[in-house]
Structures are given as structure tokens and as C-alpha cells.
Structure 1
Amino acid sequence: MNKLKVGVVGCGFIAKKRHIPAFLRLKKNVKLSAVCDLNQELAKNVAQEFGIPNVYSDLSDMLSEENLDIVDVCTPPKIHAPVALEAMKSGCNVLLEKPMAPSLSDCDEIVEAYKKYGVKLSVVHNQNFYPTFLKAQKLVDSGVIGKLLGMRVLILTTRDVYIAHEDHWIHKLPGGAIGETGPHAVYMSLAFLKNAADVNVCARRQSDYPWVSYDDYRIELVGENLTSSIYVSHAGDCNASEVDLFGTEGIIKMDLQSMILTHHKREHIKPTSVASSSLSVAGQTLTGVVSNVFNVCFGKTMLGHDIMIEKFVESIIEDKPVPVTPEEGRETIRVMNMIVEKLS
């Protein structure tokens, strides 16, 4: 079988640190043929760094010259739709970094196009593919914590990544900073929450940057089966990505950055019950740390991007469903629009 030819559009951080390394892991089935960026010097540097043979500053030129199987879109969200539409019209399968697009109308155009042109399109909801998150879904599905009652999502991003930079494209997203990290919290919630119907938002500015409207958000996302309590902040100097799931028979806690999952059921608050659950959590944490060390030492660490991109490639080779459907990407944007409207 011929290798799938991939062209990457956008050569910024997410392409260099996540997408390109993920595709390079799949060199048995994939060939990175080209990169494209309006900043041709940046594109040349990225191509040289990763050994990618062809460089373009114009998408149309890349599509006409390269005969690509996959176009990987890593541009700022505002041009996701036009890039994806042109790539699909050329017969390419498309991988879209999240968020799918800034507006529902853009999402609808993308959904219509992938059906029209008969190609595959998937949106990168990477945190849903971390091994800890996948394990948690299996535990919930198997009834380990009983009926799911609620959940909490925590995402902290340091100020220097986005909001400290006045000219960063994040400030042009709907809702500002929440437009970047909010989709992560929403799609993780939607993995467990059915039919999001309402949202309550409390937002404020905690930093001193005058170009920032909000950088600290508390969100209650209400579905027909449960409510997800979301806290997203860009105002501090620490990072975190955590998800807690609360059931009738126990609790699951995930730290997606350290890739450690624990679950326990504390039936009583007697000292013996507290001690037993604490020992259980400590043991699970130690086991997780040892497993992570082993994976790092032997090069087996798999991030969410790695797993999802591998599944996307498999979906093309084996003609299977994509890991995240365009409709799921659109639903995330529908909920994000609900959040942004509450900020108006």
C-alpha cells in the first residue's frame, strides 16, 4: 500500500509540538510531503527541522502540486473553514485542529462539504484521547462508580502562553481566551453529558492586562443527565488539566497532565474508612507514576494528539469512522456559542 501523503497548513506551536511529531510516529503508513504557511521563512525552518521536502506559502499551489491524501489544518481558527473547504474540494481528507471554526455557519459549511465531496474530516479533540480519559470512559461505562451524577473540569493556563501577548490571535476569538481553552472543557463534558440545554457563566478579569476582557471563568453546563462544573483560568502562573467524575458508587479523578487516574468509594467518614480510601488512592497514584516513568524511559508515552491522529489515519486506510465526527465538532461550537452569548 502506498503511504498517505500529508500536507500541514500552519507551522506554529501546535503543528511543531503535536501534529508533525504525531504523523512522524506513523511513518510506516504516512509521508509528510509538505508544509504551508504565509510566513515562508517559518515554513522553511519547520521543513528543515523535521525533514519535510516541500515548502509552500500558498495553499492552492500546495494542493495542485502535491496530490495529497490528508491536509492537516493548524492555522488560527478564523481561517479553518476556507482552508478545509478548499482542501476538501481538491479531494483531500482533512484533520482540523480545534476549535472546528469560530461560527456555526462555518461549521455547517464544513459539514455540508465533507458529505458533498465524499472525504473524511475529523476535529482534534485531543484531551478525550489521553489514556487516562479513555480509561475513565470505560470505567463509567462498566458501572464502576454507579450512575454518573455530575462532573468537574479544571483547566489552568499560565498567563505567558496567551493573554500576556497583546497581539495574540486568541484575543480575536469569540469570547476571547475562553475561545481557545473553552472547547477543551466543553468537548470533555460532552463525552459524558447528554443534550446540553443551558449554561450559566461567571467571568471576570483577574490580570492587569488592559487588552483582556476576561481571563477567569466559572461555567455550569447543564445537560439532561448531569451538570458539568467548569473552571477555566488564564490569570495565574500554573498549569492544570483535571477532570472529576462523581457517581452514586464512587469518584474518578483524572490528572491529564501527569496522566494519572484514581477512583475510590468512601462509604463512611470513620477513620478506618478514610484511611482505607487514602491508601487506595496513594497506591493507584504510585502505580500510575511508575507506569509513566516506564513509558517515558522506553519511548511509549502517547499523548492525546498521538492517539487521535493515529485513529484518523486508520479511519482512512481501513475506511472506518473518524475518531471525532464533524457533527461532534459542531456541537462543541454550539455550546461555546451559548457560553459566549452569556458574556455579551
Structure 2
Amino acid sequence: MKRLNVGIIGQGRSGFDIHAHLLKNMPGRFKIAAVCEPDAARLDYVRNILECDGYMDYHEMLQRQDLDIVVNASPSHLHVPVSLEVLEAGHNLLCEKPLARYVADVDKLIAKSRETGKLFAIYQQSRFAPYFEQVRKVIDSGVLGRIIMVKIAFNGFSRRWDWQTLSEFNGGNLLNAGPHPLDQALQLFGPDTMPEVFCLMDRVNTLGDAEDHVKLILHGNDRPTVDLEISSCCTYPLYTYQVYGANGGLTGNMEHMEWKYFKPEEAPQQELHRDPLPGRKYCGESLKWYSKKWHVPESKSQLYDTMGAAFYRNLYDALTKGAPLAVTPAHVRQQVAVIEECYRQDMAGC
């Protein structure tokens, strides 16, 4: 198995706690060859821990010829310009989310990737979340019938005062946490078409100027309605997923799911009555319900490690075998288009 050399730009929460952590635990596939971090003390610490080369200026690291891929974990507002430089320097690229604030910037990155012939990937690891895979499995089985609505809630209660609360740094719930559930939502809606978008955003407990409460509705012809919340002012989060189907439904969180359904062929045959039912009765029938449950396996109980390792395995196969990326730039372009429309509506006061 070929071992790929990786360079990482940025050694903050994402660069060190996520990417360096994951790559260090996949030694058969990846080797961290170099990191870049402008903070000298942090760089010395990380370089000793990871036993790799270190740079304070990422431009110096990009001059290397031995890197198989560069991870861009710079601050969010630098993702687009730094990613363009990585591709221009002739490196394969993995960029952290949020990729961009505008579709035009995504198009620039896609064009640069094609121009240079280099792989361009975006770190959207929640596509590999065990709970999401289970939701898709139940929906795809057909037991719930036609899917009418999917409700997704990435909610909790927190107050924040760091740089990710500022719009100038591409902060706020929609760009910070939002790409995770929005990527899932668009897969369930259908990645082949742009949904109609309705969005409401608010600032509640944040000390910055970016939103910390988002309500987003996606809808379209012959598509399920998707109701997505990303709120930091929900003290009683009830679920992560709820699915409404013609023959049943699903509810659950990241660790536990349950669903029930009836089989139409076993349901009583009914006829439409134009006249009032005898005895002033309401409609009533007895359906035979089938119930099932899912618990996250112990082997996948460490959510972030499970998602991240699955993402990096797919990335490794793409680099070494030409396998297709599970999360494509086109998928993320659709996501950014929805985000851009949300901010347009917010600015217009829609």
C-alpha cells in the first residue's frame, strides 16, 4: 500500500484536532510530512508531536515537490484564496468547510482544478455519519413509502464570542455548522437540481454579528420538503432526524433511530364517502404496524473518528486508484448556492 505524504496548512482546531489526529492514526495510508502554522510556539509544539517539518509561511511549504496532497485548514475566510494558491502550485487539494460564501468562488476553484489537472476535494465528513447512513438505508428500502418531509435539527444551546461569530471571517451557524446537515439534506432532496429556498436567520446569544439561529426550508416538485434547523438557542433538542412517509415514519438522534410502517397490501380497503359516516363517527381503522430500531454499533460510537476515517479512506482511493469522490465539488457547489440564497434573503429582509 502506497503511503501518501500530506502537508497541512493551519494547526488550529481543524488542522490539528481533526486532520492531524486522523492522519496520524492512518499510518498505512498517510504520512504527515509537513505542517504550516504562523504561531511559533504552536508550530514548535505540533512539529515535535507529529515529528514532521514545520513552516510559518505556507508559501514555503507549497514549494515542496514531495507532497501528494495539501490540506487547507486555514481560517474560513481564507479557504478560497489559499486553495487557489495550492492548486496553482501544482498540489492536490483537500479544503476544510465552509468551502466558500459564493458560487462564483466555487466555480473558480473547479476551473483551477481542471486547468491544473489536480484533485480538488472538500472535507464534508458528515456524509459518512453512521446515523445518516442508517436514515438513507431506511428511506432507500422503500418501507416508508413516498417521502413527504425530512426534518433535520442540529440544535443545542451555547453562547459564543470567538472569531467564528463574525461575518467578516465567514462565521455564523450557517457557514460554520451548517455545511454538515446541509450536505445531508441536499443528498436527501436530490443533488441533481437546485431547490427552492426559504430561510430565516437571527442573532440571539452570539457576541459577534453573524447568525446563531437558522431555519431553512428546501422544497421542489416531486421532492420531499426538507426542514432544517441549525440553532444555538434550543435548550431542549428533541431529535436529529424525523422522516414523514406515506406508509410510516422515522425519528431519532445520532445514536439511536426507530421507525415504523405499515404494508399497504395488508391495510383494509377503504372507499370515499361523500355523506356523513353512520353514527357521527370519525374515520378509524386498525393498521398492522411494523417497528424497528437501530443503535450505533460500538465500533462506530466515536462519531468524529468514524466519519473522518471513512472520508480519508475514500480520499486515499481517489488519489491512488482513481475512485470517485463521495463528496464532489458539484455537490458542494449546490450547497454554497443554497447558502448564498439564504444570505440574500436575510439581507433583503425576506
d(CA) in 2 for partners of 1:18 and 1:78? Answer: 19
> How many residue pairs end up in the alignment?
326
Give the 4+ runs in structure 1 shifted more than 4 A.
236-241, 266-270, 299-302
CA contact (8 A) 2:148 2:244 kept: yes
CA contact (8 A) 2:5 2:67 kept: yes
AA matched with 2:188:
F
Q: Within 5 Å, which residues of 2 pair with 1:110-259?
A: 110-160=109-159, 164-165=160-161, 167-168=163-164, 170-173=166-169, 176-194=172-190, 195-207=193-205, 209=206, 211-212=208-209, 214-224=211-221, 225-236=223-234, 242-256=240-254, 258=255
Q: State the partner residue of 1:265.
A: 261
How far did 1:63 drift? Answer: 1.6
CA contact (8 A) 2:9 2:36 kept: yes
Q: State the partner residue of 1:25.
A: 25
Query: CA deviation digits over 1:149-174, x for unaligned, max 9?
Result: 210110124424xxx21544644355
CA contact (8 A) 1:206 1:235 kept: yes
- Taking a change above 3 Å as real, the CA distance of residues 304 and 56 of structure 1, as seen in their structure-2 partners, is same
Q: State the partner residue of 2:10.
A: 10
AA matched with 1:330:
R
Q: State the partner residue of 1:328.
A: 331
d(CA) in 2 for partners of 1:23 and 1:170? Answer: 30
d(CA) in 2 for partners of 1:144 and 1:124? Answer: 32
d(CA) in 1 for partners of 2:113 and 2:13? Answer: 27
CA contact (8 A) 1:37 1:43 kept: yes
How far did 1:247 drift? Answer: 2.0
State the TM-score, normalized to the length of structure 2: 0.82
d(CA) in 2 for partners of 1:238 and 1:300? Answer: 21
- Taking a change above 3 Å as real, the CA distance of residues 336 and 303 of structure 1, as seen in their structure-2 partners, is same
1:303 partner SS: helix
d(CA) in 2 for partners of 1:93 and 1:254? Answer: 38
d(CA) in 2 for partners of 1:43 and 1:237? Answer: 38
CA contact (8 A) 2:166 2:209 kept: no
CA contact (8 A) 1:34 1:55 kept: yes
Identity %: 21
Q: Within 5 Å, which residues of 2 pair with 1:14-163?
A: 14-49=14-49, 51-65=50-64, 67-160=66-159
How far did 1:302 drift? Answer: 4.6
Aligned-pair RMSD on alpha carbons? Answer: 3.0
State the TM-score, normalized to the length of structure 1: 0.84
2:94 partner SS: strand
Structure 1 stretch displaced more, 228-237 or 317-326: 228-237
Q: Which runs of 5+ in 1 are unaligned?
A: none
Give the structure with higher Rg (CA). Answer: 2
d(CA) in 1 for partners of 2:303 and 2:154? Answer: 25
- Taking a change above 3 Å as real, the CA distance of residues 238 and 56 of structure 1, as seen in their structure-2 partners, is farther
d(CA) in 2 for partners of 1:143 and 1:213? Answer: 40
